[in-house]
Amino acid sequence: MIKKLAKVAAAAIVGALVATAVTPASAAVPGIKTGLKIAIMPKAVNIGYFTAWDKGAQKACKEIGAKCTYLGPTEATGPAQVQFINKVIQQKYDVLVISAADQNAIVPSLKKAKAAGITVVTSDADVAAASASSRVVSVLPAASDRIGTAEVDWIAEAVGKKGSIAVLSASATAANQNAWIAAMGPYLTKKYPNMSWVGGTVEKSTFYGDDDATKSTAQFAAILSQYPDVAGIISPTTVGVLAAAIEKKAKNAKVKVTGLGLPSQMAPYIEDGTVEKVGLWNPIDLGYVAVYAAARAESGTFKGTVGSSFLAGKKTYKVTKGGVVFLGDPFTFTKSNIATFKAIY
């Protein structure tokens, strides 16, 4: 993954726009129709993680000669996304690539999009398993249990394998984070006998910041107030882990913090020792692969059935159970490598 990331442009990724478009390139990719009209929809456009996600999507769009527009709400909620999904239907897009802010609330709208002939692929966050038929396939970072257990290992290392742990998540309706958290619970209990969840179970130890910096800061403070002896906090959201790092430094709090963070955002706090380690996959790759999956599906050269595969760039991706494609394990960022990656994404 390091070699792959090193090839990405070294410019830091800055704020997202509500709508940006890329003009189709003249080059075509075998098996993909040229001139496709593709909507790229994040949970919210004002989150740096999704700016990186869109960067990969737009790169794929240029390669396949598609016209792609980045659009979506400024708050990461299902109802907010629904309004934009309706716009995608009204404006007769061919394809919708979307990160589900709510695993259930957006499903009726996705079904309407599908009925209107729009090819739907989820990326980063999927709909509920029972609603998998509302999309062709889902492109996700890694198996949910691996993301969750990796974060437990990171916090265990930070706290010396002892003490109580809390979780600062995004939303109670975020399917991807809920799956990661579900995997954390039994893993910590089984592997680290001298560690525990502050509320007795991981579910009762989880606080929600709704992927909002102000709310996440308040929830971090709530954890410290309610559990003053908490040893560590896991935040499986880029917004939450950044808010936790900022507040930890401001309060000079002893609690250890880790989670999923953008290296460009977390670099100051890793470099000064506020946070020892965070991890993430490459969101640029995530957006890139999702566009290829969607474009091939719209072109009729990829069905999304379990066991089928498709080519994105030079790599082949295979569909696993539930109609899901995984990129790979999360990568960790520490003082030893953060200088390299903060310039990439």
pLDDT of residue 344: 84
Residue with tokens 């390299």: 340
pLDDT of residue 175: 87
For the entire predicted model, the pTM comes to 0.80
pLDDT of residue 13: 31
Point out the residues of the chain with pLDDT beneath 50: 1-27
| Distances in whole angstroms, Cα of residue 247 to Cα of each of 134, 208, 244, 257 | 40, 16, 5, 11
Task: For 40-99, write each residue's pLDDT tens digit.
Answer: 999 999 999 999 999 999 999 999 999 999 999 999 999 999 999 999 999 999 999 999
pLDDT of residue 17: 32
pLDDT of residue 11: 33
Identity of the amino acid at 207: F
The full length of the chain comes to 345
Write down the H helix ranges in 160-304. 175-191, 213-226, 238-251, 263-271, 283-298
**Sign of the CA dihedral with 259 first, then 263, 266, and 271 last:** positive
CA distance 28 to 15: 30
What domains sit in the chain, N to C, each tagged with a CATH number? 2-141+282-328 (3.40.50.2300), 144-280 (3.40.50.2300)
